Structures are given as C-alpha cells and as structure tokens.
Amino acid sequence: MLSIENENRIKQWIEDHKDEFIADLSKIIAVPSVATFGVSEGEYPFGIESANVLAAAKELVESYGFPVKNLDNFCLVANVGEGEEKIGIFGHLDVVPCGNDWNYPPYQLTVDGDLLIGRGVLDDKGPLWASIFAVRCLKDLGLMPKREIEFFLGGQEECGMNDLLHYVEVTEKLPDVSFTPDGNYPICHGEKGGLRFYLSVPCKDEKIVDFAGGTVRNVVADKAVATLKGVCGKALSEKLASNERISVETEGDFVKVTATGASVHASIPENGINAIGVLANALLDAEIFEGEAKSAMEFLKLVNSDYNGAALGVPAEDEPSGKLTHVGGVISLEDGKLDLSIDIRYPVTENGDELLKKITETVEPFGVSVNDIADTKPAYSPADSDKVRTCMRVINSVFHKDHWKPYTMGGGTYAKHLPNACALGPEDPDYESPFGLFRGSIHQADESTPAKLLFDTMLVYAKLLVELDDIDINK
C-alpha cells in the first residue's frame, strides 16, 4: 500500500508540473496525426503525419530521461525501471479526422478555464501523456515499482492497429499485464468482438454522378453527398425543403444533395445520426430513381434504420456485454456499385464466423456482396480478479464514486490484442459535455476534457503502479 506521506508527495509533484504538462501536451496536439489505412511501403507506414507525431513524442519522452525506441515508424517503445515482470501502458498518438463544424482550432490546444479543447485531448493523446507523467513522477520521487514499466505509443490505433501487430511481432517478451488509458472509468474487463467488412451494392443510374459520405469506418457518418445530373434542382429543393438535415445546390449541370448527421464513435451509434441513411431516405422521398438505384437507396435506408444488427439479420445480445451494434461509416461509388463500410461490435459470447454467415444470407437477396472481411475476437476477464479489484480500489480512492463498477464495452482498444490487458480510464461516464450531446466528446467536433480529469488520471496511474506490487498480476 502507498503511504499517505508518499501519496501527498505525488499530489504535490502533479501540482508543480501542471503547466509543464499542458505545454508538452500542446506540442503533441499540434500535429494533425491522422494515420492512413493499411501499411504503406517505405519510411512512413501510416503516412507522414503519423511519423511526425512519433518524432515529436520521442523528443519529449527522451527529455524526461526515458530511453525510447522508434520501431520503424509504427510506434515508440519506452522502458523505465527494472524487474523480472513487466507492466505495459499502451496508448496511441494518431487521431480520427476532424470532420466538419469545429468552433475551435482542432490542432491547437485551447485552454478555457479548466477545459482543454483539441483533437486527441481525450482520445488518446491527453490520457497517454498523463500516464507518462505518472511514471515520471514516480521516477523523480524514487517510488518506482518492483516491475519494469513499458510504454507503447502507437501510430495507427484508429484505423487498423497495425502498429500494435508490428510491436507484437518484433517484441521478445510482451508485458505480463497491460493497461490502456483509452476507455471509460473505472475499468473495462471485457471488450466486444469486432467485425468489419464492405457491402457492395449495385447502383447503376445515369442520374448518379457520385455518392460519398463519412470519413472513417469506426465513426457514424456526419456528412453524405449525392451529385446528380438530369434532375431539376429547384424542384428537388422544393420537394425536400421540410427536411432540416438536407440541402440542395445547383452547380451548372449538376445538383448536389447534402445530408448532415451527427458523428459519434461506432461503439455508441445510438447517440449519433447517420448522414448516409438520411441521404438515402431523402432521395427516396424525392422519387427520382427507379430500378437498381431505387433498390440501392432502399437497401441503404434499411441498413441504417437501426444500429443493433436487425437489418443485417444479427440482433444479438448477451448479459455481460449487451447488444450487438453496427454502423455504416463510409460510402463511395465506383463502377456502378456503392461500397458501404460496416463496423460491428458483437457480444463477448458470440462467434464472428456465425454472425458473418447470417449477414451474408440476409444481404444476398438484395444482390449485395460482402467483401474485405476482418474479425477481431472478443476479450473477457473476471471482474472479481485481484487485478480488477486493486484497480477499482485505487480509482475509487481518487474519484470517490462508489457507484462505478467494472464494465464491458463495444469499443476495441489495444487491450483486445494483448494478454492480461484492460482499458482503464480516462473518460468520466458521469460527465456531460458543455457543448451538448453531439459535440465535445471523442471523435466529435470540439473534442474536450476537463484538465482535472487528466491530472486525476495521472494520480490514478501513479498510485496503481505502486500498489500492484502487493498482488500477483497474473491472477
């Protein structure tokens, strides 16, 4: 157990380093580190901005006295302390695209009272940097735990996690236990499986020049645009005038119909509005299509009419992790076919192969095919383990919220790909964004967090790393 005296020393160190933390975090926020999908050949596997943020982070972490290795611009690894066993802390420096409708500069850390605003301040640059400062605190105060600490700073968590797969491939010994500050408080002891694929929807029609929407697959699309020809823009505008989420513009021979939604993470689609579905529904209301194009719009409307798998034939649910969720995140038109990305988070007791079979059987009658399939299996560990109970005790000692309980979630973090791993913090499930439901949270415009939450996270990780000395972390 950490003594009261040493806990007070940690608190004072955090107080003394708040301004430095904000200044260093602002340097990381300033990099527009949207990673590319897949793995590119050459020096920048996830694009230049992912490599840039790794370089900026390496310089800062080395200035704290931590030895850092850059693993081929996939990720950074920093090791601190000594011990036969190893504790991993896994966070990521890439971010989702900003999308539209920011009121603050996304790549400039804005400090408004206690509120910090900027892309990545909550997911995941801010929490990762808080955990780094936690270990720096223990090092400065001579309170390092009996186990080695290994930091993983990833460059592609948001769109594939190939950064982690590379790390696992080249690392001789993985951590014995790991935490990622990339979820909600208190601690996630189970993560749903992840099923991703594309639906190829036939949609040949001379009226449709282009159809595009969304930015990344794991976010509800906040915008979708259909570019049309051979239709009357004025008549179409009048017909859709009552739809507040639709705008119609005439540009020469073309008419653009734009749908506006509300973006949220794919694990909580019930809190968002999918612009792809809004657009398909509006075009059906306009009655401008027949045949294949009309059938395609009806299919898009159907798929986006619910978010719990019913439209795809897989309305699954279990007691530990709740309902299956699905999101149509990105859509594009090519060679007379609409390619719609689907992101599914399925319950921890379900089987991805069986779900995929049911989905294929459901969509085939529409002439739709399933392509580019990826399945990440669920992860689940007992809530009554010594590890989870120790985490809960430390978290409650900082936040004093007895109603918080260990939980499972639909979001897929690094923990799903590591042995004996859990997501711990940083989001406060009781916190309400000052900007409202569709603004201010992760993957939304004006992403923000109270600075106090990050400083409390710093304290949680510092205390936890010391108090894990008292238990067998493998049980």
Q: What is the pLDDT of residues 292-325, one digit of tens each?
A: 999 999 999 999 989 999 999 999 999 888 999 9
Rounded to an integer, what is the distance from CA 364 to the centroid of its chain?
A: 30
pTM of the full predicted structure?
0.73
pLDDT higher than 80, residue 412: no
Q: Which one has a higher pLDDT value, 130 or 411?
A: 130
Closest CA to 397 of 350, 463, 455: 463
Task: Let me know: does 338 contact 344? Beta carbons within 8 Å.
Answer: no
CA 7 to each of CA 15, 20, 434: distance values in angstroms, whole numbers, following the listed order? 12, 20, 32
Give the pLDDT confidence of 32-46 residue by residue, as tens digits: 999 999 999 999 999
Peptide linkage before 124 cis (omega within 30 of 0): yes
Give the pLDDT confidence of 175-214 residue by residue, as tens digits: 999 999 999 999 998 999 999 999 999 999 999 999 999 9
CA distance 429 to 426: 9
CA distance 247 to 241: 8
pLDDT band at 100 (very low <50, low <70, confident <90, very high): confident
Closest CA to 186 of 3, 424, 418, 381: 424
Predicted confidence at residue 409, as pLDDT, reads 85
Give the tokens for residue 346: 């399925």
Report phi then psi at 29, rounded to 5: -60, -30
How many C-beta neighbours within 10 Å does residue 427 have?
20
CA 157 to each of CA 93, 324, 422: distance values in angstroms, whole numbers, following the listed order? 8, 22, 16
DSSP letter assigned to residue 116: E
pLDDT band at 379 (very low <50, low <70, confident <90, very high): confident
Chain length of the chain: 475
Give the pLDDT confidence of 145-186 residue by residue, as tens digits: 999 999 999 999 999 899 999 999 999 999 999 999 999 999
Mean of per-residue pLDDT scores for the chain: 95
CA distance 145 to 142: 9
pLDDT higher than 80, residue 411: no
Give the pLDDT confidence of 335-360 residue by residue, as tens digits: 999 999 999 999 988 999 999 999 99
Q: What is the DSSP string of 362-385?
A: HHGGGT-EEEEEEEE--EE--TTS
Predicted confidence at residue 265, as pLDDT, reads 86
Task: Let me know: does 51 contact 73? Beta carbons within 8 Å.
Answer: yes
pLDDT higher than 90, residue 256: yes
